[in-house]
Structure 1
Amino acid sequence: MDLSWSELLVVGIVALIIIGPKDLPGMFRELGRFTAKIRAMGREFSRAMEQAAKESGVKDVADDLRKVTSPSAMGLDAVRSAADKFEKWDPIKNAARPSTPAATPLTPPPMPPVAAATAAAEATVAEHAAPVGPNTAALYQKQAERKAVVEEASAKLRAISSPPDATPAAEPKKPGRRRKKPEGPAGDEA
């Protein structure tokens, strides 16, 4: 029942007028007992149904079915977390921090980003046979610029992580005694 306080007040006034002030407390007492009996019967019915389900094994089957269909049991939690990580991954940010050093030889330095981006954008536009509009060309340009930035960053990382050139270093001087310079012919005094 969804009654507001104003509706309950109207019902109370009507009950007071119809039943009278002497019989009103007794009527509310009987109404309270009646609702208590209905609630007790409802609880008893619920307990009986739960007991019957427990005895017949329906509850165990329902629990097993709930466990089997849970996302964690089917591995969907791992899939969801992997998808979240993939969506949050940014190759440009992560290019600056390699997880393991790469063991690749040095490659020649890449073209400047603008020239590489322009060349890549022109190549991408040339690949498509249909003419493209200015928005599509701008999109190709933006993608090419991003690709150039990523390639430049990866080339820098390769250069940083590769071993230095194996050029022979100058031999360090050995510590020892200093030799005196000869002062010229013996007995020469100036």
Structure 2
Amino acid sequence: MPDIGMMEMLVIGIVALIVVGPKDLPKMFRKLGQMTGRVRGMAKEFSNAMNEAADETGMTQMNRDLRAASKFTNPKSMAKDMMGDVMDDIDPSKFEEGSATRAVAEKKAAAQAATKERIAAMKAERAAEASDEPEEPAAPEFTADADAPEGPVKVIKPVDPGPAEIEPAAQTERS
């Protein structure tokens, strides 16, 4: 639909009134409305025919499949979907009694239960620490000491050894 404001509509109405005349103006608007209705009906028929053709050729199904496949383009959602089954509880009763698979499943189930317990305990500890801590930490108190150095104090952070520093020590222990 063209972007026509009230002023433009008023100008068009006045010109139509002058050109067509007041007697034939309602007939012209009626014809214009009928023509607009026919054009809209033809457009709707065309759209329905195209949708039916797409259904017959399988394009609608292909569109659904592509939309379903598009969720795999997001690595984060794909990983969540894939890990959902892995993170579910392990049920050793699905496997035969005495089989190696059942033994592995029992070990994994026990480890998973222990991990869940540790996580719950860690969350409880963190919650307890958060409720016990004062809102603002107190400033450290310094006393004048004869052994204390004057001026700013340098803080030494521990250094994380890289893999190159660890490997030679590990090799000497093996040999």
Shorter-chain TM range is: 0.3 to 0.5
Q: TM-score, normalised by structure 1?
A: 0.42
TM-score (norm 2): 0.46
**Greater C-alpha Rg:** 1
Higher relative contact order (CA 8 A, sep 6+): 1
